[in-house]
Amino acid sequence: MAKTVYLGMIADIMHPGLINIITEGAKYGNVMIGLFTDKAIATHKRLPYLNYEQRKNVVEHINGVSEVVPQDDWSYVPNLKKYKPDYIIHGDDWKEGPDKYIREEVFALMKQQGGEVIEIPYTQGITSSGLAKELESLGTTPQARLKSLRRLISAKPIVRILESHCGLTGLIVEHTSIEVDNVHKEFDGMWSSSLTDSTSKGKPDIEAVDLTTRLHDLNDTLEVTTKPIIYDGDTGGKTEHFAFTVRTLERLGISAVIIEDKVGLKQNSLFGTDAVQTQDTIENFCHKIQVGKASQVTNDFMIIARIESLIAGKPVDDALERAFAYVEAGADGVMIHSKNKDGMDVKEFCTRFRMKDAHTPIVVVPTTYNQYTEEELATWGVNIVIYANHMLRSAYPAMVHCAESILKHSRSLEASNEYCMPIKEILNLIPGTKQK
């Protein structure tokens, strides 16, 4: 009987190195490709450009491939146990770096199952990650960016979003990453916040900065990033106007708009009941959602209904009644907001919402109840966490300290040493600053 050779791959970008490994594998038997799913990839890397079905379609047509099966975990162990291949083949590049432990567990399991690990020299000069970097420099399209939020929601336990209000903060969200316990961590996308968009213009967060102005500035972020963007649509304005807003956002490749069920002069939610917070009727707000949903062109754009009951001092019951009505009206997700510090009202909302609705995405903005980790919020049933204002809130005090230091010392020496990045760093921060 023919032997089975297992080969795990993402296969977003095909290149000669991968063809080489398939050809080598085929010398030992029938090559079974363990094709990584979005879920397997999402906790370790950026989602691939192509979705699973598209990648499968490419891989199953490659000479030497006998079968394609999904690999739903970053670790090979579950699939090796399931398919018990005679061989597993892998490039020898996993001997070093974060995937070392993956290699160790593969060796141990294959030995136990009586199989063999074949390592072949990785094709020099070509790696998928190298090509992915090239691809990144090509950017994205509005369509691909728009779709990516829904993909992330279904692939990740929780989607991590950070506020951005300019091109520079966009670059921070796009590129900041760290390794923790062999796991690569980065932000999944950006929040275009009405609070920080207004504040960075020196204006109050009362819908005084209009859509056209906000989108003009958001274009700076769109130009230098590829990750999905969630737009803070405030109240959505007049229902008739909201229909146009949806189309405009969709055309730009924004993935979702969140609108809140308030009426009258909008006040920032974090004032809570210190400001007059008037909620819309359920009926009116449902109508606004329906009009928005009817005006979108793709199936991918999301309209998320933000419930302000807890901000307005009403009970969780009121928030739940509204949430179910908004979902019924077509909302693609709900955002529950609160300014309580213990987060218990949000937790109760999420838990009770999930008892009746297992799937509709829940969004939270834990600005005041920031003691909970993403892992904890995920256990409540939360799908998206938004860090809604942290880029601006961290930059402002740093700038004020710098300004005060210049005043105090009548020169910039102390400020430069204490509060400023070196000139060399700022010059090299943005590629292309120096002409070659």
List active site positions: 205
Q: How far apart are CA 38 and CA 48, in angstroms?
A: 7
Amino acid at 306: R
| Residue 178, helix vs strand vs coil | strand
Cβ distance to ligand SPV smaller for residue 152 or 161: 161
323 binds, among Mg ion, ligand SPV, none (CB under 5 to 8 A by kind): none
Question: Coil, strand, or helix at residue 35?
Answer: strand
Tell me if 245 contacts ligand SPV by CB under 6 A: no
**Least CB distance to Mg ion at residue 399 (A):** 22
Please list every residue from 205 through 244 that binds ligand SPV, using CB under 6 A: 232
Min. distance of Cβ 310 from ligand SPV in angstroms? Answer: 12
Q: Residue 229 corresponds to which amino acid?
A: I
**For ligand SPV, the closer CB: 140 or 194:** 194
Confirm or reject binding of residue 388 to ligand SPV (CB under 6 A). Answer: yes
- Binding residues among 179-208 for ligand SPV as defined by CB under 6 A: 193-195
Q: Among 4, 269, 277, 405, which residue interacts with ligand SPV (rule: CB under 6 A)?
A: 269
Which has the closest alpha carbon to 306: 268, 266, 334? Answer: 334
Amino acid at 88: I
Rounded to the nearest whole angstrom, what is the least distance from the CB of residue 365 to ligand SPV in the complex?
A: 5
Least distance in angstroms from the C-beta of 195 to ligand SPV: 3
With respect to ligand SPV, which residue has the nearer C-beta, 4 or 309? 309
367 binds ligand SPV (CB under 6 A): yes
128 binds, among ligand SPV, Mg ion, none (CB under 5 to 8 A by kind): none
Sheet containing strand 87-91, strands side by side: 65-71, 30-36, 4-9, 87-91, 116-120
Is 267 one of the binding residues for ligand SPV (CB under 6 A)?
A: no
367 contact choice in ligand SPV, Mg ion, none (CB below 5 to 8 Å, kind-dependent) = ligand SPV
Tell me how far apart the alpha carbons of residues 256 and 228 are, in angstroms, rounded to a whole number: 9
Structure tokens at 117: 């690990």
Question: What is the C-alpha to C-alpha distance for residues 304 and 297, in angstroms, rounded to an integer?
Answer: 16
The separation between the first and the last C-alpha atoms of the chain, rounded to the nearest angstrom, is 60
Does residue 193 contact residue 53 with C-beta atoms inside 8 Å? no
Nearer to ligand SPV, 155 or 303 (CB): 303
Q: Which amino acid is at 40?
A: A
List 42, 307, 320, 365, residue binding ligand SPV (CB under 6 A): 365
Residue type, 26: A
| Residues of the shown chain interacting with ligand SPV in the complex, contacts defined by CB under 6 A | 193-195, 232, 268-270, 365, 367, 388-389
